[in-house]
Chains A and B, each alone.
Chain A
Amino acid sequence: MNSTIIQFTQVTKQYDNDPPVLNDVSFKIERGKFYTLLGPSGCGKTTILRLIAGFTEASKGEVLFNGKKINHVPANKRQVNTVFQDYALFPHLNVYENVAFGLRIKKMKNAEVDRKVKEALSFVNLKGYETREIREMSGGQRQRVAIARAIVNEPEVILLDEPLSALDLKLRTEMQYELRELQRRLGITFIFVTHDQEEALAMSDEIFVINKGKIQQSGTPIDIYDEPINRFVADFIGESNIVTGRMIEDYKVEFVGKEFECVDQGLNPNEPVDIVIRPEDLEITALERGKLQVRVDSQLFRGVHYEICGYDKDGNEWLVHSTKKATVGDEIGLYFDSEAIHVMRHGETEEEFDRRLEAYSDVDTNGK
């Protein structure tokens, strides 16, 4: 069986003469994985979901499902089900009938409906809630009903449109575990839309980072966190320090007026680049031992770590996550490994980026 279940080929979505909501987007979704579409609001992530669900049609390009073009297939004929942001549970039906809705439309026998609905409800830990009205359910419980209503139809793909955004923090974290667990047990494809980067990193097999109607970067959470392709991704995923620099030659980069060793290669000599260093990769040390010298401007206690903000003498801001405390007003040294430096080329496309990364690993294996 082909592992690709959904494929977008150069899909554009445009309303009237407004700038396109999605601009020439192509990607593949594989069977049985947990995908996250991550981006700020208005970036086009929900549009991708609506295109897959069939609530809207692409202006250009092809949407393939199991290798078949489904651009004009109406939503009620598609093998996907959606969990909506506001759950969209039917207020005139109780929990049982909400979950049974899809099955009843298929004219399934009552005994069969009963078995499936009970199974779905126990899957989401809502056994015994069958006769409850929707308005008697809490936010978290409604969420589960919405999930049960989607999985009971045994779709190949479940689409989740920011389903956790209405829950409080504790419940949200709990549901993150549950959703991930559910996806593993069901073994079907989940496509999850969120603007919460932590949620995306914690839950996904694959993340698509989307901005301004384009997929900026796709990859595993670790890939995207460790090797952001550009300023937007670096900034959107996690906290980061971004400064401009210059690639002197392979393994040598210059920024804040100093030369540093790095692990990047394959760039043009003297090419201008952006440098990213994650706050947790910066280590507080004695002034003279530090690769950077900054004056501590502010310090916040975050529970797990201190968030320290300092400025170097050129006025660049440096954010440090450290379990060690600093004193505001002091000058401290910051140490980091050469691996901590991430070099980003200007305007590099994802393909070029991937090719360059592959080139590194070739060198690594050759060297061993």
Chain B
Amino acid sequence: MWIQMENKLTKNLYLFPYLLWIALFVIAPILLVLYYSFFDIEGNLSLINYQKFFTPVYLKMTFSSFWYAFLITAISLLIAYPTAYLLTKTKHKQLWLLLIIVPSWINLLLKAYAFIGIFGTYGAANSFLNLMGIGSQQILFTDFSFIFVSVYIFIPFMILPIFNSLNELNPTLLDAANDLGASKWTTFRRVIFPLTIDGVKSGCQVVFIPALSLFMLTRLIAGNRVITLGTSIEQHFLVTQDWGMGSTIAVFLIIIMVVIMVVTNTRKRGV
């Protein structure tokens, strides 16, 4: 009896840091954000922020956030799936995988600044274009550069889960499909893809959700030409000092993220 109680006590003790963390860094901030969202810029309690969110300015911003996040996710997936597939076929697949993952360890800001150098008017990309006889182009501060750099940053997070699910795939299943008359493409469509869909889903989650609230890249690479919900939150807190509106956008962002997670998180099937 006494030992059981003791066990329970230690279990609770181990749980304590986790609960403290959740309370301080997850629940408290969300409550705070929710609380601030009910105050207008003068500090009066009101629902004006929520009204404002449904005006064309913010709806357009929401739409553009979604659009860019979608583009980034789709392009990442298009590149990552074949890459992950090729990786599983290589001899030293773990090494190749590591090489792809290593850049994700470097700080995001550093990578962004590196791209400013590369894409700038006198950068490596333009010198190359000059050499080819095409001449200098405005690369930095365009949609192209924004999406390119975002995809570059997110792609390892897309490759990893897809690689894992492809790697776990039993190769005899491919023989079996082939044996039953399936061509390479049919095998992919009917066996490989459905069996790796979980990897694709978690890859899309890991890319789409952070891409929704990207804000640093929008300024550094896209030169504020791309305004997403993330940029807007930052502007409201730091520039216009309208914490209420910033919080309201954050509340919507949180709701959107939860919805996406619920939609993409179907149960994993046992084998």
A positions within 8 Å CB-CB of B: 53-55, 74-77, 80-82, 84-86, 88-92, 101-102, 105-106, 133, 135, 149, 153
Query: What are 8 A-B contacts defined by CB distance under 8 Å?
Result: A55-B178, A75-B179, A88-B175, A92-B269, A101-B177, A101-B180, A105-B181, A153-B181
* Binary interface encoding of chain B residues 150-181 relative to chain A, with 1 for a CB under 8 A from any of its CBs, else 0: 00000000000000000000101101111111
Interface size range on B against A? 20 to 34
In the complex, per-residue mask of B241-267: 1 if CB is within 8 Å of any chain A CB, else 0? 000000000000000000000000000
Instruction: Check B180–A91 contact: CB distance below 8 A.
Output: no
| B240 adjacent to chain A (CB < 8 Å) | no
Q: Do A101 and B190 contact each other (CB < 8 Å), given the known contacts A53-B179, A76-B183, A135-B271? A: yes
Query: Looking across the interface, which residue of chain A has its beta carbon closest to that of B178?
Result: A75
A85 cross-chain contacts in B, Cβ below 8 A: 172
Contacts of B170 in A (CB 8 A): 86, 88
Task: Tell whether, in the assembled complex, residue A91 and residue B181 are in contact, meaning their CB atoms are under 8 Å apart.
Answer: no
CB pair A84 B182 closer than 8 Å? no
CB pair B178–A105 under 8 Å, yes or no, is no
- How far apart sit A133 and B170, CA to CA, in the bound complex (Å)? 18
Tell me whether B186 is interfacial, beta carbon within 8 Å. yes
| Cβ of B125 under 8 Å from chain A | no
- Given A102-B181, A106-B181, also A88-B186 (CB < 8 A): no
B17 beta carbon closer than 8 Å to chain A: no
Question: Are B179 and A81 neighbours in the complex by a CB distance under 8 Å?
Answer: yes
A149 to B175 Cα, complex, angstroms: 14
- Contacts A55-B175, A135-B270; A92 near B194 (Cβ below 8 A): yes
Contacts of B271 in A (CB 8 A): 91, 135
Further contacts, 4 of them, CB under 8 A, given A55-B175, A153-B181: A54-B178, A77-B181, A90-B177, A133-B269
A91 with B172, Cβ < 8 A, contacts A105-B181, A105-B186 known: no
B149 beta carbon closer than 8 Å to chain A: no
**Chain B residues near A82 (CB-CB < 8 A):** 175-176, 179
Q: How far is the CA of A144 from the CA of B195 in the complex (A)?
A: 23
B191 within 8 A of A: yes
Q: In the complex, A153→B180 CA distance in Å?
A: 8
Interchain CB contact under 8 A, B194 and A84: no
The answer to whether A76 touches B182, judged by C-beta atoms less than 8 angstroms apart, is: yes
Q: Bound complex: CA of A89 vs CA of B270, how far in Å?
A: 13
Q: Cα distance A82–B181 when bound, in Å?
A: 11
What is the minimal beta-carbon distance from A90 to any residue of chain B, in angstroms?
A: 6
Q: From residue 207 to 252 of chain B, which have CB atoms closer than 8 A to chain A?
A: none
Chain B residue at minimum C-beta to C-beta distance from A74 = B178
B270 — which chain A residues lie within 8 A by C-beta? 91, 135
Which residues of the other chain, A, contact B186 by a CB distance below 8 angstroms? 105
Point out which of A89, A91, A106 has the most chain B C-beta atoms below 10 A from its C-beta. A91
B residues sitting closer than 8 Å to A (CB atoms) are 170, 172-173, 175-183, 186, 190-191, 194-195, 269-271
Q: Select A88's contact among B173, B182, B194, B195, beta carbons within 8 Å.
A: B173
A105 CB contacts on chain B under 8 angstroms: 180-182, 186, 190
The 8 closest A-B CB pairs, nearest first, are A102-B180, A88-B176, A88-B172, A75-B178, A91-B271, A105-B181, A92-B194, A135-B270
Give Cα distance in the complex from A153 to B177, angstroms.
Answer: 13
Closest chain A residue to B180 by CB distance? Answer: A102
- Residues of chain B lying within 8 A (CB to CB) of residue A149: 180
Complex Cα distance, B176 from A80, in Å, reads 12
Question: How far apart are B137's CB and chain A's nearest CB, in angstroms?
Answer: 47
CB of B269 within 8 A of CB of A76, answer: no
Given contacts A90-B173, A91-B269, A135-B270, are A76 and B190 in contact (CB under 8 A)?
no
In the complex, what distance in Å separates the CA atom of A222 from the CA atom of B182? 40
Shortest distance from the beta carbon of A136 to any chain B beta carbon, whole Å: 9
A84 adjacent to B172 (CB under 8 Å): yes
Give the nearest-CB partner of B270 in chain A.
A135
Bound CA span A74–B194, Å:
24
Taken together as a complex, chains A and B put the C-alpha atoms of A106 and B181 apart, in Å, by 8
Q: CA separation between A232 and B111, bound complex, in Å?
A: 67
Determine which of A80, A84, A92 lies in contact with B195 in the assembled complex, contact meaning CB atoms within 8 Å.
Answer: A92
Cα separation A82 to B177 with both chains bound (whole Å): 10
Q: Is the CB of A86 within 8 A of B172?
A: yes
Asked if A75 and B172 sit within 8 Å, CB to CB, the answer is: no
Cα(A92)–Cα(B180), bound, Å: 16
Q: Closest approach, in angstroms, between the C-beta of A264 and any C-beta of chain B?
A: 46
Chain B: CB-nearest residue to A159: B179
Are A84 and B181 in touch, CB under 8 angstroms? no
Q: Is the CB of B175 within 8 A of A84?
A: yes
On chain B, the residues within 8 Å of A74 by CB distance are: 178
Q: What CA separation (Å) do A92 and B177 show in the bound complex?
A: 13
A86: nearest chain-B partner, CB-CB = B172
| Bound CA–CA A37/B176 (angstroms) | 20
A313 to chain B minimum Cβ distance, whole angstroms, is 54
State in angstroms the CA–CA spacing of A149 and B173 once bound together: 13
Q: Which chain A residue has the least Cβ–Cβ distance from B191?
A: A90
Are B178 and A76 in touch, CB under 8 angstroms? yes
CB distance from A312 to the nearest CB of B (A): 50
- In whole angstroms, how far apart are the Cα atoms of A85 and B175 in the complex? 12
CA of A82 to CA of B178, assembled, Å? 10
- Of A54, A90, A133, A153, the residue contacting B176 (CB under 8 A) is A90
Residues on A with beta carbons closer than 8 Å to the beta carbon of B194? 92
Cα distance A86–B171 when bound, in Å? 11
Chain A residues closer than 8 Å to B175, beta-carbon distance:
53, 55, 75, 82, 84, 88
Q: Closest residue to B187 on the A side, CB-wise?
A: A76
Bound-state CA distance A302–B41 (Å) is: 92
Cα A66 to Cα B177 in complex, Å, equals 23
Taking CB atoms, residues of chain A closer than 8 Å to B176 are: 82, 84, 88-90
Please report the C-alpha to C-alpha distance between residue A51 and residue B269 in the assembled complex, in whole angstroms: 34
